[in-house]
Amino acid sequence: MKHVLSILDFSKEDAARILLRADRMKAERHRGSVLNGKNVVLIFEKASTRTRVSFEVGIRQLGGQSLLMTPAESQLGRSEPLKDTARVLSRYADGLVVRTFGQDVLETLVEYGTIPVINALTDKYHPCQVMSDMLTMYERTPKLEDVRVAWIGDGNNMAHSFINAAARFPFSLILACPAGYRPDPEILEKARSEGAKIELTDDPQQAATGAHYINTDVWASMGQEAEQKQREAAFAGYLVDAKLMALAQPDCKFLHCLPAHRGEEVSEEVFEGAASVVFDQAENRLHMQKAIMEWVFAE
């Protein structure tokens, strides 16, 4: 049985095959049957637009059915232990797609359940998004070994998944994060031990210089709203604007997982400019998640 809790659940060979498969699925406007007769439960403890719609549409396009569970409509977060939920849902469904807070939630569902689990986002990782971003980059620069990717901002779940991606794909990664908001050193060290080419700095200009892709994310993610003012102070100088983009390669593209706070982590000019490929990224969630689900469910 296959699970996708992070990008490291793919071997380098698997990651490359999934990337190529997603590219073909997009070109072919793929409709398939790998989920025929299967029911996939979406457990969403965090609100969503792109993740929910792309997974639900993708499940249908692969022949399956989906069912959404939120804390308001189920025993999630109430008195029933999560391990019991895992065992009950394993009797009803064929797979789980989970968008939640703690990575431990996924680990419990895997430990006590008997069906595949796919991470649709946790506070630690966002693998489906970053695999989709790999597709967005591959479409423009298929020689990933020549690509320099800059991450500007919080060392969050997106940064962690880009670090993991650097251990599976041959691009080089530089992260600019302020003190106190750097990525988990264990995640960084593990990726480096597997050959990832990663630099870490607190200087956004250093990270942007010579980059082919510049990535960022909101400074305060869901669940961190109370830290907004504190984070605004810590991330002063981390705005991705035209001046920062000018330090990158002439054809550098801007990436953002959305939703974006224009004027905070990215300027309106950059977000709406010719370098922005954010809506291609959003579309690619559908194609990549179909490729991931095919990898999980194909016998």
Is 33 annotated as a binding-site member?
A: no
**Burial 185-199, CB ≥16 within 10 A → b, else e:** eebbeebeeeebebe
46 backbone dihedrals φ, ψ, rounded to 5°: -120, 145
Is 129 labeled as catalytic in the residue annotation?
yes
Is 241 annotated as a binding-site member?
A: no
Is 285 annotated as a binding-site member?
A: yes
Is 258 annotated as a binding-site member?
A: yes
Is 116 annotated as a binding-site member?
A: no
Is 221 annotated as a binding-site member?
A: yes
Marked catalytic residue, from 52, 212, 256, 285? 285
Marked catalytic residue, from 21, 126, 160, 231? 126
286 backbone dihedrals φ, ψ, rounded to 5°: -60, -50
Is 230 annotated as a binding-site member?
A: no
Is 168 labeled as catalytic in the residue annotation?
no
Is 75 annotated as a binding-site member?
A: yes
Is 127 annotated as a binding-site member?
A: yes
Residues pairing with 172 in the sheet: 148, 197
Is 160 annotated as a binding-site member?
A: no
Marked catalytic residue, from 9, 61, 129, 168? 129
Is 148 labeled as catalytic in the residue annotation?
no
Is 157 annotated as a binding-site member?
A: yes
Marked catalytic residue, from 9, 21, 168, 257? 257
Is 222 annotated as a binding-site member?
A: yes
Is 9 annotated as a binding-site member?
A: no
Marked catalytic residue, from 9, 21, 217, 231? 217
Is 99 labeled as catalytic in the residue annotation?
yes
Marked catalytic residue, from 3, 21, 52, 99? 99
Q: Are 244 and 267 in contact (CB under 8 A)?
A: no
CA gap 260, 18 in Å, rounded: 27
Is 184 labeled as catalytic in the residue annotation?
no
* Residues assigned a catalytic role: 99, 126, 129, 217, 257, 285
Which segments are annotated as binding site?
Answer: 48-51, 75, 99, 126-129, 157, 217, 221-222, 257-258, 285
Mark the binding-site residues for carbamoyl phosphate, compressed into ranges: 48-51, 75, 99, 126-129, 257-258, 285
Q: Which residues are annotated as a binding site for L-ornithine?
A: 157, 217, 221-222
